[in-house]
Amino acid sequence: MQADANQVAAYWTRLAYESIVRFTRDEQAKRGFTQPQFWILRHLSPHDLAPHDGAARTISQLQQAMTEYIRPDDDLASEAEVLLSRGWIHADQDGHLRLTDAGEAARLQMGQSAPEIRSLIHRGIDDADYVAALTVLQKLIANTTPVPEAEA
């Protein structure tokens, strides 16, 4: 692959995004879980993404919390059913989900695979090159984000 400065960044960032997500999800599947399952557990854990001390949440509330990164084909209700069958979450009569102790242990175990998956994704990439690439992406974002009129 030859890169030149005239190539369109949006094309390459989309390809990179799709490839990295697919790879990550394949690696997680090899380890017995899905990315949406991990996200559900993380959003229900008072020790992770739950800003509400582990309060129970509905599927709708979880979907809202994941708006920025959930994919259109992710079915949180089906994923939650798997977690319920494993005893990792509990649903009350109103459909609010809560993490169980077994679910918290599963969340921790799932999280332990992240460094290995990251290592596979970053194979052959120097940390300085990676930081430089992120810096360029951040600058591209800044250059293409409208500035509110009050700041202009």
Tens digits of per-residue pLDDT, 6-58? 888 899 999 999 999 999 999 999 999 999 999 999 999 998 987 666 789 99
Check residue 124 and give left, alpha or beta (phi > 0: left; psi -120 to 50: alpha): left
**140 CB neighbour count, 10 Å cutoff:** 13
pTM metric for this prediction: 0.85
Identify the three-state secondary structure at position 118: helix
SS3 32: coil
Share of the chain above pLDDT 70, in %: 94
Q: Virtual CA dihedral for 17, 18, 24, 27, nearest 10 degrees? A: -160
Nearest in space to 76 (alpha carbons), one of 130, 112, 40: 40
For the stretch 58-71, what's the b/e string if a residue is b when 16 or more beta carbons lie within 10 angstroms of its beta carbon?
bbeebeebbeeebe
Q: What is the pLDDT of residues 56-82, one digit of tens each?
A: 999 999 999 999 999 999 999 999 999
pLDDT, residue 137, reads 94
Q: CB within 8 A of 74, min separation 6: which ones?
A: 35, 36
Query: Which pLDDT score is estimated for 55?
Result: 81
Question: Distance between CA atoms of 41 and 37, rounded to whole angstroms?
Answer: 6
Cα 82 from chain centre: 18
